[in-house]
Structure 1
Amino acid sequence: MDDWRNAAQPGPAAVLVTVATVEGSGPRAPGARMLVTPEQVFDTIGGGHLELRAVEIARAMLSDARVRHIERFALGPSLGQCCGGVVHLAFELADPAQASLLAQRLRDDTWRMVALDGAPDAALFHADGALLWGTACPPFARERGTHVMQEQDGRRWLVDQVQAPRDHLVLFGAGHVGQAIVRALAYLPCTVTWVDERDDMFPHSVPANVTVEATDVPEALVASAPPGAAYLVMTHSHALDQRLTEAIMARDGVGWFGLIGSLTKRRQFEHRLRARGVDGSRIAAMVCPIGLPGITNKAPAVIAASVCAQLLTVWEEAAHRSAGAPPLRLVASSQT
């Protein structure tokens, strides 16, 4: 999900292409990015002729030393696309120092401001408005994501929200299915805390969005998870599954809870949970069996695909519910 950040660090010269604004229908929303090097393209702004043309422009920039600019594309017959909207793309030579800092902030929101008049002015801001890197920029108090801001003198800036993943999964179990789920989530906009008592079960390397926790007290990771986190329990032990289930039922702010198993396992756990006085509504919210209805293949990769699709549905619904929450107002630190 963040190939462009990693690829923009010290290496070949590259151009960062950002969807700055979209009027009407477009293949990607503002904030979508891709990085173009002489030989490769990382991530996507939506494919099709729009992307092909953007790659051509970006590679031309690598030879003509043009710093930054913005271009308008009508998604009609001239591009062989029928979206019907208008997309503005910002083109800038990738700055390795900026990219290195962004790569360290995968779990933090960051705002980029870059001048679109060819000047080198640029800055990175923390979500609270504190300047992290770069030069002084005009103040901004915007309540939307990536967009183009124009000053009174006509100077334009790309205001680009580099948003950290909002969705977090605490995954208990590093067996075959757990490993398949981690692989399936590797390029999706989420973070994962992967928990198991057996240190030797984890692979030598894990995706950038995964944190490994090898611990003898996995229940502690239930309490330390952020509010709204999803939990997925699939350990090697039914007894441990039971303890983790009780710990999850005991805390507030659970976004979603899935337990691997059959309907028989669910009934056994329901009986034990009721005997321990767990509220019936919490028991009813437990998802077991896991995965999308109609998919019965028990191969680890199939289970992982089904469960990840289920999680994406849950997270999408949660995002729609929270869409009405008041946004954070940001002001450049030079004004604070």
Structure 2
Amino acid sequence: MKFVRWFEAISRCEQKGESYVIATVMGSAGSVPRDPGAKMVITADDQFDTLGGGQLEFQLVHKARELLAAHKTPQILQKLENMPLAAKAGQCCGGSVSVMLEVFIKSARPVVVFGAGHVAKALMQILGALPRQVLWVDNRAEQFPAEDELAANIQCRLLDNPVDIIAQLPAGSELIILTHNHQLDYDLLKAALVRDDFAFVGCIGSATKTERFHMRLSHEGFTDTEFSRLTMPVGLAEVGGKLPMEVAVSISAQLLSRFNSGMSDDYEHNTGVARRKGLNWKDIKQSLTLQPAGKTEQQTSE
């Protein structure tokens, strides 16, 4: 297996929209396997580069994956760990290191795009450059580009009936409906309304199409409250234009506006602090206080 450097791993994770932790040696005392500045990257299922192996690396990977498992909403966290490298930790180095764990939590909720026409293709040019997982669904194989032309975060799904996937999507998914068929658009919207746990459901269309869909859904027993969960036409009205890329920019702007607003709201909800982020100097100074070189763990404790 090819050895992957930490900076290559970050690029991969960002392209795929995968959560990861950067572990960086910030300071050291005594004999240590790696010098300050050394880095490795840890994901839920893999690790890249090295901080010297052994118990130090094993413990850091375990701590990093605990942090990844404990946080689900998109955010960035920092945590400093002081790691003694004495016999108690299964290391014979005798020194200690301070390691910064930088946790980058990406959204686990995919953006699901139905339809592979001109607007959807333009949209993929934008979404492919963003740290979001994208599921692209259509029933026409010839409409999808070659796999090597797709960004790493985009997964194509060819389905005879795209409506079937609605029931399988995770809660919190964001749906963008851009198919070539008005009846398919309607069927997708109706299936999406049956569930009430999607973060966003948007559909391309004119005012006339919106009015007709509203009327049809009402006749099938859906309420105005349920219809209000749909965004139709999708996209920010402030972004004008009818060219495929103009429409794609409008839709992307709406998604980004919601996503970035959600990150801010999640941070305030989880911490109770709106403006202050990350570690403060007092915590950093305390965490970076290392054992003097040459002292053993037993001597320090005495």
1:137-286 equivalences under 5 Å are: 145-151=77-83, 155-205=97-147, 206-286=150-230
Query: Which residue of 2 is the match for residue 63 of structure 1?
Result: none
- Preserved CA contact (<8 Å) 1:195 1:213: yes
Q: CA deviation at 1:166?
A: 3.2
1:48-127 equivalences under 5 Å are: 68-70=34-36, 90-92=37-39, 108=44, 121-123=56-58, 124-125=61-62
SS at match of 1:145: strand
Counterpart residue identity of residue 259, structure 1: C
Of 212, 233, 250 in structure 2, the residue corresponding to residue 289 of structure 1 is 233
Q: CA deviation at 1:316?
A: 2.1
Cα distance change on mapping 1:34 and 1:214 into 2, 3 Å: closer
Q: CA deviation at 1:279?
A: 2.4
- How big is each residue's C-alpha offset from its partner over 1:217-276, in whole Å with a ceiling of 9 and x where there is no partner? 211211111101111101010010010010001112110011001111111111111111
- Preserved CA contact (<8 Å) 1:112 1:161: no
Cα distance change on mapping 1:161 and 1:314 into 2, 3 Å: same
SS at match of 2:231: coil
SS at match of 2:175: strand
Cα distance change on mapping 1:68 and 1:264 into 2, 3 Å: farther
Aligned counterparts of 2:144 and 2:190: Cα–Cα separation in 1 = 25
Q: CA deviation at 1:10?
A: 3.5
Aligned counterparts of 1:319 and 1:227: Cα–Cα separation in 2 = 17
1:16-55 equivalences under 5 Å are: 16=7
Q: Which has the higher helix share?
A: 2
- How big is each residue's C-alpha offset from its partner over 1:283-327, in whole Å with a ceiling of 9 and x where there is no partner? 12211122222222111112112211110111223333433359x
- Preserved CA contact (<8 Å) 1:149 1:159: yes
Aligned counterparts of 2:6 and 2:167: Cα–Cα separation in 1 = 43
- How big is each residue's C-alpha offset from its partner over 1:78-137, in whole Å with a ceiling of 9 and x where there is no partner? xxxxxxxxxxxx443x6xxx7xxx6xx6xx58789975xx7874243497649xxxxxxx
SS at match of 1:122: helix
How many residue pairs match? The answer is 231
Cα distance change on mapping 1:127 and 1:164 into 2, 3 Å: farther
SS at match of 1:228: coil
Counterpart residue identity of residue 147, structure 1: K
SS at match of 1:157: strand
Query: Which residue of 2 is the match for residue 10 of structure 1?
Result: 2
TM-score by length of 2: 0.65
SS at match of 1:258: strand
Counterpart residue identity of residue 122, structure 1: E
Q: CA deviation at 1:151?
A: 4.0
Q: CA deviation at 1:215?
A: 0.6
- How big is each residue's C-alpha offset from its partner over 1:150-177, in whole Å with a ceiling of 9 and x where there is no partner? 2477521232435343341111000111
Report 1 or 2 for greater relative contact order, CA contacts < 8 Å, sequence distance ≥ 6.
Answer: 2
Aligned counterparts of 1:171 and 1:17: Cα–Cα separation in 2 = 28
TM-score by length of 1: 0.59
Counterpart residue identity of residue 2, structure 2: P
- Preserved CA contact (<8 Å) 2:240 2:250: no
Cα distance change on mapping 1:127 and 1:231 into 2, 3 Å: farther
- Preserved CA contact (<8 Å) 1:169 1:192: yes
Cα distance change on mapping 1:242 and 1:150 into 2, 3 Å: same
- Preserved CA contact (<8 Å) 2:64 2:101: no
Q: CA deviation at 1:67?
A: 7.7
